[in-house]
Amino acid sequence: MKTGKWRRELPLHILVFPSIVIVFIYSYIPMFGNIIAFQDFNPIKGVFGSTWTGLTNLEYVLEMPNTYRIIWNTIYIASMKIILGNIVPIIIALLLNEIRKKAVKRSIQTLIYFPYFLSWVILAGIFIDILSIQNGIVNQALGWFGIDPIYFLGDNKWFPITLVLTDTWKNFGFNTIVFLAALTSINPSLYEAAIIDGANRWKQTLHITLPGILPIVILMTTLSLGNVLNAGFDQVFNLYSPQVYESGDILDTLIYRIGVSDAQYGPATAIGLLKSFVSFLLISVSYWLAYRFANYRIF
């Protein structure tokens, strides 16, 4: 029996083997570079010739005046993205589910899904023009209602809100597909029975649709916990400026400035290692919660 099972599964193992090799080369081997976090790294001397400093780099990072504010910015922005990134797709999926004409439904799906494929390099240029305080179409529209122009990308009050809203706009189409797929798994006979009992569309949604997709909602939410320290480097890096460092600077942009701009490789690696360790713990907890409350397991 075991031999027969192995023969059936062998083609699958062969199929996945190249992916395992690629992940090993590009994800596991570079982990050796984390040793720089415990060294006074000198590019000329290399990893094996640099002086060992222990936890000095980590202590230096934690004693920097802006570190805890940056950690708070990261958690706040990422958390808001996770919350809106789940609420908006659920609402849109429920609305799309009520559309009976398939052509209209598919057209809307395509339109809201399209921004997901655009990079933040492209979208940043678009948003910079749209949100410009002088000629931006958004501020021009606000002016029609007598509202003073808002410096969306230069005001510490508005910048985090802008990050969260633009990220939600870009990604909600992808997550909507997940919830639409969950809606198709609900037994249609439940709606038929509800109609016979006199339930209107709102009561059907409240008592059938939402409970039906609740396991997927719990699953998506718990799996998102692993991204609490990932506030979106691409987006922030392309939209922020020194004016909004106070509210928009995150761990990834700090790592970039320290490691690439200032060539402080040890402290930058220490931040990245600490971030990866905390993210690993959060991902482990999120998968346990997903198994506990949504009966989801990887293996």
C-alpha–C-alpha distance, residues 132 and 135, integer Å: 6
Q: What pLDDT, on the 0 to 100 scale, is given for residue 294?
A: 65
The mean pLDDT values, 10 residues at a time, for the chain of 299 residues are 70 87 90 85 81 84 86 89 89 85 85 88 90 85 85 88 92 86 83 82 83 81 77 87 87 86 84 84 79 66
- List the structure tokens of 170: 């870009």
Q: What pLDDT, on the 0 to 100 scale, is given for residue 216?
A: 82
| Percent helix, percent strand, percent coil in the chain, to nearest 5 | 75, 0, 20
Q: What pLDDT, on the 0 to 100 scale, is given for residue 66?
A: 86
Residue-range domains of the chain with CATH: 56-294 (1.10.3720.10)
Q: What pLDDT, on the 0 to 100 scale, is given for residue 162?
A: 92
pTM over 0.85: no
Q: What pLDDT, on the 0 to 100 scale, is given for residue 3?
A: 65
Find how far residue 13's CA is from the centre of its chain. 30
Buried (b) or exposed (e) across 251-279, using 16+ Cβ within 10 A?
A: bbbbbbebbeeeebbbbbbbbbbbbeeeb
Q: What pLDDT, on the 0 to 100 scale, is given for residue 21?
A: 92
